Amino acid sequence: MPKEKIHLKSVTELLGWKPNIFVHRLLDGGNLPKRIRLIYHRTTHSPEFIDRNIKPPDFSDRDNLEAYFHIFQDIGIAPVPQARKAKTIKNKNKEIKKSLLESE
């Protein structure tokens, strides 16, 4: 299950419009405690929930599509852009520097 930043980035890249952050927070539970968020997550990731709650006048039709796209990414049907792992890159750079210093 991708993080919120990845979901928002993929909406921009793959769907071609500016994402609505409120849709993703509604689906994932925002700042709820972890245990409650897991239960909430199971409840919100259903077509019935989306069709009942993410609809006009509060949300647009694009937001509805974005919600389905969010679920498809969580399930693994829709593609998810790969996030760059900065810590791994930093660790590799440290290893390279260390090996260069040892070889001298």
Q: How many domains does the chain have?
A: 1
Task: Provide the whole-model pTM.
Answer: 0.72
How confident is the model at residue 59, as a pLDDT?
A: 94
Q: Any residues with CB less than 8 A from the CB of 21 and at least 6 apart, and which?
A: 4, 8
What average pLDDT does range 47-54 have in this prediction? Answer: 93
What average pLDDT does range 55-83 have in this prediction? Answer: 89
What average pLDDT does range 48-68 have in this prediction? Answer: 93
> Does 62 score more than 90 pLDDT?
yes
Domain that holds residue 19: 4-103
Alpha-carbon distances of 95 from 84, 87, 89, rounded to whole Å = 18, 12, 10
Q: Are 31 and 103 in contact (CB under 8 A)?
A: no
> Does 3 score more than 80 pLDDT?
yes
- End-to-end Cα separation, the chain, in angstroms: 45
How confident is the model at residue 61, as a pLDDT?
A: 93
